[in-house]
Amino acid sequence: MTKKHFVAIITVVIMLVVTQFTFAQAEHQPSDIVTFAWSQTGTQLAVGQWDGAVRVWNVQQDTFMSVLPPTPLGVNALAWSPDEKFIASVRWNNLAISNLVTHEHFEIDTETDYSVLWTSQGIVIGTAGIGGLEFLRVFDPSTGQIQLMLDSAKITAINNFSLSNNQKQVAIISNVGGVFVWDANFSEQQARTQSVSGDVYHAGGWAVTWNQEGTKIATGHENGLVKVWDVANLQESSIIPLVWEQNAQLSETLGYNMSSIRAVAFSTDGSEVFSIAADGTLRTWDTQTGQLLRDIQLGESIYAAAFSPDSSQLAIGGSVTQMTLIPAHIYDPAVIPTPTPTATFTPTSTSTPTLTLTPSLTLTLPAKFDRLRLSPACSPDPATIRVWRVRNLNPFDFPFTWEVQGNREQGSGVAPANGEVTFTTKTIHPTANVVRIFVQGKVQDVSTSTSTQCPTPTPGG
């Protein structure tokens, strides 16, 4: 039996008004984001940091609340209670249950756990087996008592799991890439995949989600594969053919395969699957055929990512931008862009604006061409302007349009053949500013500019 103890602690609530979508810039610092969890209504986002701190961002009010202080234990996973009044934080050998109303929390000693899920039965935590063979435990959130425990003889090792929209089924992805479906009470395993073959070590996955109807499951794997499963018999209805070897370089910074899939989500109508990889690759796939529909390079490494419950927003935490919130119209053109609420910008109309971008010249594009690359450049005065560089690898001039996320500032330009061009935008936030570029109405690239100032020339240098 796992030893338990309870520590009642009154925490001080710190409300911080922050700039749009970003923490203070700090590469490879304790404040790096390592895990996210959206509330069921999509109005709040729990954020777990490298140093073990947990915060909650109220997306509508644009405020942060401190939930747990830093700890050497770190944070592996987060989960919201159905009423959004509590947060369960899985840390190394520790489960913390925090009351966001009374600002109290208590802690339970556990094994080394990877994932957490809050259901009507209680707080479910899962592990891949490090530290013991108790792969699944269900805790009473009010007492901390174990209500159910399944060992390796009854259930697979667990990397992550996801609750279906009707709250009746749980999908599990294992450390070797297998997919299992249980009832929400964990009394019966309803279906499973066949044995995984090949490179089992890299077949494991951390991303799993259901479609709205509960008929399909999408999973993302360490080797870069994204798969879609038919829940009726868990045969692969389509294995999305991502050639992951092209992005499989190892990163000394991250310490794992750069193409590892961090999050997956279905579009609202279920016709598309979105995936975000550790190397910052944001892709959209056709659910039925596996065809790659869109490919966006965010230009930074991703530690953590989470799509909102309705797939309308993607939260990413990386090594360059601490936290960025990407709206759906970046990766799903079917979504009409809407104004982004911030601490200084409030929509004055309930109507949804339609974005119209007109390039400075027209061009008939060949069937195949290299997309334009957008990247930030240093600015002589980051407090007032940001500088952006557009690179064109094609043997012809390339017209494009651009838009600043958050204030609707727009413009256009032409990238010369086999060359590059720069443009400037007004600074709308002290730290991260997000810009995207278009060609003939389609997103070519998205990039984030931090407050990088150009070095001052040395006299006589």
**Across the strands, what pairs with 87?**
80, 98
The per-residue pLDDT for range 165-214, each reduced to its tens digit, is: 999 999 999 888 888 899 999 999 888 876 555 555 567 788 999 999 99
Q: Lowest-pLDDT range, 156-160, 250-254, 375-379, 441-445? A: 250-254
Q: Where are the domains of the chain?
A: 9-330, 373-449
Nearest Cα residue to 239 out of 211, 215, 214, 220: 220
Cα(403)–Cα(433) distance, integer angstroms: 11
Return the pLDDT at 298.
76
The per-residue pLDDT for range 47-56, each reduced to its tens digit, is: 998 888 899 9
Fold classification of 373-449 is: Immunoglobulin-like (2.60.40)
Of residues 315 and 326, more confidently modeled: 315
DSSP string, 4-58: -----EEPPP-EEE--TT-----TTSTT-EEEEEE-TTSSEEEEEETTS-EEEEE
Q: How many CB atoms lie within 10 A of CB 219?
A: 26
Enter the tokens of residue 110: 């556990």
Q: Using pLDDT thresholds of 50, 70 and 90, give the confidence band for residue 15.
A: very low
Q: Lowest-pLDDT range, 34-38, 213-217, 233-237, 353-357? A: 353-357
118 to each of 40, 78, 98, 170, 440, how far by Cα in Å?
A: 11, 9, 13, 11, 44
Which of 322-326, 350-354, 357-361 reaches the highest mean pLDDT? Answer: 322-326
Is the pLDDT at 104 greater than 70? The verdict is yes
- 245: helix, strand or coil: helix
Enter the tokens of residue 337: 């862009």
Q: Rounded to two decimals, what is the model's pTM? A: 0.66
CATH of domain 9-330: 2.130.10.10
Of residues 201 and 152, more confidently modeled: 152
* 3-state helix vs strand vs coil in the chain, percent to 5: 0, 45, 55
Q: Are strands 33-38 and 122-126 parallel, antiparallel or unpaired?
A: unpaired
Return the pLDDT at 321.
52
Return the pLDDT at 435.
86
The per-residue pLDDT for range 406-430, each reduced to its tens digit, is: 666 888 888 998 999 999 999 887 7
Q: Lowest-pLDDT range, 86-95, 171-180, 245-254? A: 245-254
Return the pLDDT at 208.
95
- 350: helix, strand or coil: coil
